[in-house]
Amino acid sequence: MNNFTYANPVKIIFGKDTIKEIAKEIPQGSKVLITCGGGSIRKNGVYAQTVKALEGFEWYEFAGIEPNPHYETCMKAVEFIREKGITFLLSVGGGSVLDATKFIAAAACFEDGDPWKILSEGSGIKKAMPFGDIITLPATGSEMNNGGVITRVSTEEKLSFASPCTYPVFSVLDPEVTFSLPPRQVANGVVDAFVHVMEQYLTCNEGNSLLQDNMAEAIVKTLVKEGPKALSDPNNYDVRANLMWASTWALNGWISCGVPEDWATHMIGHEITAFYGIDHARTLAIVLPGVMTVMKEQKSKKIIRLGHEIFGIQGDDVIEKTIKAVENFFEKLGVKTHLSDYNLGDEAIEKTSKRLAERNWKLGECRNITSDTVKTILTLRK
């Protein structure tokens, strides 16, 4: 196990009817800006609960944050914050709204030129506005991590950032608000969380981090068991609660303590989303089986362990059978796993690998996934 430091300051408020708790968490006298998306919160009652909880506060609203949030939209929010003298941000929506809010919180305090540098050059975030959130889509783990992913429409770039300054002060996780999710988004969330665990578990690591491996498998077992149930029995509160909590733990930093991390699937997936607008999770469902196949030598021990612990696979060809089991799990959720399912093919392979070559990125836990390897991976997934 490698050395590590772990500090996660986020206060989690979990359970039924917890939105009203925000009134106790937001400092009295704050000038609050609700950030939200395209309107789902107005339809599912979250907006009404939020507004009720904000009685007594001066608050404003910035709506219209897109899925795969746009830098251009975030910068409009920064202008609004300066105009109104906002002092506290409240993200109400899915991971896109929360990622945008994290970036907005940092961009509003950025004193080193164009805040895009935070993403394009990894320019350090030195300060950020305080913010909390009501997360309405279990998927990203953004509610308990300090990262985010922002898209610049003008250059078709989707880049990630992270900083100790961009943890939420609090996150409200009310499983009841997820009942209104369309099946597509339920499935996306399960796949995204599943792949988050794979990025931190399915590596060259020889399994000398027993607790992290067991914890990772516990999260995956929960996703594999409850994911299909959330689709077949959508109003089951306990299923939603288990899924919500598992998605948070898939990317709150805990299972990555002291172990190597891959993230190649995400880095390749982000380019496909940036170029073609395919849902984040669906790009992962395409790419992961390809990464597992091409990198199976260095990942063999952990693929075999995954097959045994999660899918009960023993005997011959465990690696191939486990990769197939992962693909089948995604397909069973209704998430297609080949480029051709999304009308993509050689052009997408060319465009994606060319961009990674231009950036000279070496991906994966051993930094040995080059743009040529990416071409091989994606060709397997046509």
Q: Which residues bind Zn ion (CB under 5 A)?
A: 192
For residues 178 and 318, which CB has a smaller minimum distance to ligand NZQ in the complex?
178
Least distance (Å) between residue 312 CB and ligand NZQ: 28
307 binds, among ligand NZQ, Zn ion, none (CB under 5 to 8 A by kind): none
Helix axes 210-232, 237-250, angle to 10 degrees: 140
Residue 314 CB, nearest approach to ligand NZQ (Å): 32
Positions that interact with ligand NZQ (CB under 6 A): 37-41, 44, 67-68, 93-97, 99, 136-137, 139-142, 145, 147-149, 177-178, 180-181, 185, 188-189, 192, 251, 266, 280
CB of 98 to Zn ion, least distance (A): 13
Contact 96, 139 (CB under 8 A): no
Token readout for 328 is: 């089948």
> What is the full DSSP assignment across 295-347?
THHHHHHHHHHHHHHHH---STTHHHHHHHHHHHHHHHTT---SGGGGT--HH
The partner in contact with residue 137, picked from ligand NZQ, Zn ion, none with C-beta cut-offs of 5 to 8 angstroms by kind, is ligand NZQ
**CA–CA separation, 183 and 296 (whole Å):** 32
Residue 317 CB, shortest distance to ligand NZQ, in Å, is: 30
What is the C-alpha separation between 234 and 229, in angstroms, rounded? 7
Which one, of 130, 172, 169, lies nearest residue 20 by Cα? Answer: 172
Nearest CA to 32 out of 90, 118, 109, 83 is that of: 90
Least Å distance, CB 196 to Zn ion, is 6
186 binds, among Zn ion, ligand NZQ, none (CB under 5 to 8 A by kind): none
Residue 70 or 381: the one with the smaller Cβ distance to ligand NZQ is 70
- 200/242 with CB nearer Zn ion: 200
- Tell me how far, at minimum, the Cβ of 180 lies from ligand NZQ, in Å: 4
Residue closer to Zn ion, measured from CB, 90 or 144? 144
Query: Would you say 192 or 327 has its CB closer to Zn ion?
Result: 192
For residue 194 the two structure tokens come to: 């599943």
Cβ atoms < 10 Å from Cβ of 74: 28
